[in-house]
Structure 1
Amino acid sequence: MPAPIEDDWSDSDEEIGTGGVETDVLLGVPDGSVETESDVKDAAVSRIGGLPALLPSPEPPFSSSQCKVCSNPMELLVQVWCPFEDSPMDRALYIWGCARTACQRQAGSVRAWRGLRYNATYASKLEKKKARKQAQEKARSPPPVPAPAASPFSMQGSPAPMAFGLGDAIFGQPASDPPIQSASEEEGDDHSDAESDASSSSEHSLITAMASATVSASFWEAAPSYPALYLSTMSEYIPQPPKSKIPANARIEDPAEDDSKAGKDVSWAFEAYENSLEVDNVFDRFTKRVSHTGEQCIRYELKGTPLPFASDKVFEALFPAPPQDPLPVTKAEFKVVPAVKRSYSTASIPTCPSCKSNRVFECQLMPNLINVLRDSVQDKEADVRKLTDEQRIKAVQDALKRSREPGSRGMEWGTCMVFSCENDCCLSEEGKDLKEAWREEYVLVQWDD
């Protein structure tokens, strides 16, 4: 029997150990309706549904939101404010989805774009922060020691120290003590650093809000949309697994162990049984992982690993099984083949068309987003508490009738994964640097069977 393939392609709850763990994944959850006009126009306000607050100016072509199957404009599913760390570029991610039943399971019915815009004010802050950091590193470096006179061909001299203490950082040696500063100098530097770090994110958001492009007097204003909801983030936390309830004096017997003691090969007995189970282990892992925070609508982990929904073609492409040596035929050549493991790979993801760099996983939409969008529409169309019994029955009948029509609507995906340029390039077709960019990214969809 061939060696089993261990699907260790994702963080397993079984590997948590005795305590819970906080992962690197940020979870996006709904957080009430967006009501203020300023938040609607602020690109730094992440949202579920609503109209997009577009960064590039002039605004990008309206065709960006059109479904590639039916050519109709799609609703915005989410907008995520996600600038890269230490980048002078304002950055937001926009994901649209088509809800027409005929477009489901078709490529191009979910599209993702990233908007970039150079932020001169924030870029100036970054330059000052960089200069201050370099000055601090220079102050910590020891003064250069003049080398003794020697023959220019001598090999006995010591190598020159690396700039900024790079050698110390690589080899783990402690840095030299910095020169002593006066109390006023220390307080001034600490206050400047604290003030800069504490206000950088909020000021960045404020600058974006003041300069973000609007969608007034354009096709975007008349685009179809879901009610806008705030999208708040929280860290993913996987709690401690429950303890086993097996009594301390219980005896666990393994029939395979007993049969092997009798000299029998029982691998065939378990192979037929296991293969007969119609269980998708990938989906089981997905369900178990998501159940810890069921209200999540998006998972965000730049350069992380996506959480696959099911063992389909998308899963096989992202988590390919390594090739295995053919098994020996005769008993004389019998050997134990170790179990092989799947590993995550982006080899099947096309590179960025602008800079030819690799694309990396950035985020994925979760099934609960469909429920949230559907519920928000129902709440907007009618307040159920104010309907009479007769009106409520008619509303249900109308909904069932619409679901049977050819143009009925309803999204059917299990998860939508977005892969973005790892360099977050902002280039023209000729390869020149730009102040603004609007680039489509790669989306992989796993459909709900």
Structure 2
Amino acid sequence: MDPYDSDSSVEDVGEGDYTETGVLLGYATEESTDDSISHLGGWPTWLDPSTPPPGNFAKCKVCNDPMLLLLQLNGDLPEHFPHDERWLYIFGCPRKACSRKQGSIRALRGVKKHKIANSSRQRGQNNNNKAEQESMPEPPNAEEKPKPDLGAALFGARPPSSGLSSNTNPFTTTAQSGTSQASNPFAALPAPSALAAIPPQKPSFPIDSLPATFAEKARVSSPPPAPKPVAGPPLPWPSQSSFPKPYPQYNLDADYETLSRPSTPSLPDNIPTPTIEEEDSKTSGDSKDIYESSLDKSFLRFSTRLAHNPEQVLRYEFRGTPLLYATDDAVAKVFLTPSSSQHAKISTVSSKSSNNRIPRCESCGSARVFEVQLVPHAIVMLEEGRENIGLGPKDDAGMEWGTVVLGVCATNCGLDSEGVMGWREEWVGAQWEERLVPK
């Protein structure tokens, strides 16, 4: 297996013993680092403490209980968004009953724009349009627009001709605009003798019961529109007492990924191994075949790549491509494209466009791009002493994902106000651990 089978950029380093990729790896540490914002676990902090996210973002979509912070990341990108401050958050529900369910892991992007792109140009364009409208002469014989002919709308009468006043009675044969004659609206009716044979009909209801005005008639004939629901103020972010005890907090250190020459990687600690009884009941060769046949090739590629830097807890590459844990689930379909070969290929992502199928940003409609993913060693760090996080028995807790992938708005949309904090929920995809069943 080629250890450099990756869609990320790879550069040769030294004499070929190591290569460096464009992926930035994050490592959890208890020591202080230069980044005082980013951390794994712990309590979240806000870019603007006076404007926390709406409280509904704190809740698991499965059980509706508050979630715990998995990752807080300083997402400032001066080369892409020089006037924006942006922080990223990934939250997860620690309850086992919610594991493997959509909505048990959620992600947020907080952004504060200190300069709105093209705002001065747009204001200038609006001022020019306004000046042009004010300088345009009024058209000749400009009059107030005629009122709609309610009689025609209600009873099907012909609209008045251009020579008649808008208040013309549709039942009269005399024009009220100074002309002596107007077309007779009854000209197409049968001869008077035919009409005379029809006796006059009495109304079937008292005249007094008729509405007094046309407006009342219209109101009676059509039901009133249903009132629009009024959106109330957003729920406040819950107090800390509403959350379970947080995961332990670690600072984050970062370095670019380096890959060594082929070696025999060890499997991650969270992958089950055969028991002693199973090993005794089978020959070592048979056990190896059974175990390896249960593993997806994509997982072997995943674990081999991580084994080059086994202590990494996250992988970061804005507009890059994630390292997939599996190739046969819903998340994989977002990034994989079919090919003529037996193996699917990961979609490449350029700085201008993306051919992945991450759902577009719900706020502005822009495409989303990959930015960061959590990998299994983050679980090892977060779940140290997990029996003490206040969830009850130890077997009621535990994370079962293989990787968590975050896709963000490619344009970093936010509130159209300078210096005001905005919050956006972003797309997050979880690839869950394989549950291996010995054959």
Equivalents in 2 of 1:115, 1:72: separation in Å?
22
Q: Percentage identity across aligned positions?
A: 36
Amino acid at match of 1:440: E
Amino acid at match of 1:280: D
Equivalents in 2 of 1:288, 1:54: separation in Å?
36
C-alpha displacement of 1:293: 1.1
Match of 1:349 among 358, 365, 375: 358
Equivalents in 1 of 2:253, 2:239: separation in Å?
24
C-alpha distance 351-113 of structure 1, shift in aligned 2 (>3 A) = same
Residue 25 (1) aligns with residue 44 (2): no
Equivalents in 2 of 1:114, 1:106: separation in Å?
22
Unaligned runs of 5+ in 1: 1-6, 124-216, 244-272, 325-337, 382-397
The equivalences for 1:324-339 within 5 A come to 324=340
SS of residue in 2 equivalent to 1:60: coil
Equivalents in 2 of 1:68, 1:92: separation in Å?
22
Amino acid at match of 2:380: N
C-alpha displacement of 1:417: 0.2
Residue 98 (1) aligns with residue 93 (2): yes
Equivalents in 1 of 2:381, 2:309: separation in Å?
14
Higher helix share: 1
Unaligned runs of 5+ in 2: 117-235, 265-288, 349-354, 435-439
C-alpha displacement of 1:344: 1.3
Tell me the equivalent position of 2:74: 81
Tell me the equivalent position of 2:47: 55
Equivalents in 1 of 2:415, 2:114: separation in Å?
16
Match of 1:371 among 373, 380, 393: 380
**Which protein shows a greater Rg?**
2
Tell me the equivalent position of 1:64: 57
Match of 2:400 among 412, 421, 425: 412
Residue 293 (1) aligns with residue 312 (2): no
Match of 2:338 among 321, 338, 343: 321
Query: Does the CA-based 8 Å contact 1:103-1:109 persist in structure 2?
Result: yes
Tell me the equivalent position of 1:310: 326
Match of 2:240 among 221, 229, 254: 221
C-alpha displacement of 1:63: 2.0
C-alpha displacement of 1:354: 1.6
C-alpha displacement of 1:110: 0.5
C-alpha displacement of 1:239: 1.3
Amino acid at match of 1:28: G
Tell me the equivalent position of 2:431: 446
C-alpha distance 289-371 of structure 1, shift in aligned 2 (>3 A) = same
TM-score, normalised to structure 1's length?
0.54
C-alpha displacement of 1:339: 7.3
Query: Does the CA-based 8 Å contact 2:113-2:414 persist in structure 1?
Result: no
SS of residue in 2 equivalent to 1:111: strand
TM-score, normalised to structure 2's length?
0.55
Equivalents in 1 of 2:7, 2:370: separation in Å?
14
Equivalents in 2 of 1:447, 1:77: separation in Å?
16
Equivalents in 2 of 1:12, 1:84: separation in Å?
19
Residue 116 (1) aligns with residue 99 (2): no
C-alpha displacement of 1:89: 1.6
